[in-house]
Homo-oligomer: A and B are copies of this chain.
Amino acid sequence: MTYDSALAALADPTRRRVFEQLRTGPKSVGGIARDMPVSRPAVSQHLRVLKEAGLVRDEQDGARRVYSIDPRGLGPLRRWLDQFWDQALDAFKAEVERPTPSPRRRRRS
């Protein structure tokens, strides 16, 4: 739900690959696992983490279960990153534009 669970979920490379497979559209569990080097239960577990992080949604379709990206899931992470980016840029700018080299003592040539 928050940006930290999204970060934790997207940190693992395998899980991120699962997530990226949904970028083109909804997909079933078996369809995802077919293009991956891990077992199907592993994919299920990754999807569980992604779902708990609010990044994907699931929908029953007969015997299959179709997963798709929940676009709102990336919102918090995006906002956190943006805010962070702005503040970091400001601090960096202030650091660069500083006229006098340093208020530190000791500088006797």
Contacts and interface: CB of A to CB of B under 8 A. Distances in A.
A88 B4 CA distance: 20
A88 B74 contact: yes
A74 B69 contact: no
A78 B86 CA distance: 12
Contacts of A69: 88, 91-92
Contact of A71 (B20, B22, B71, B89): B89
A104 B25 contact: no
Interface in A13-41: 13, 16, 20, 22-26
A72 to B, nearest CB: 9
B13 A10 contact: no
A87 interface: yes
A61 interface: yes
Contacts of A7: 7, 10-11, 16
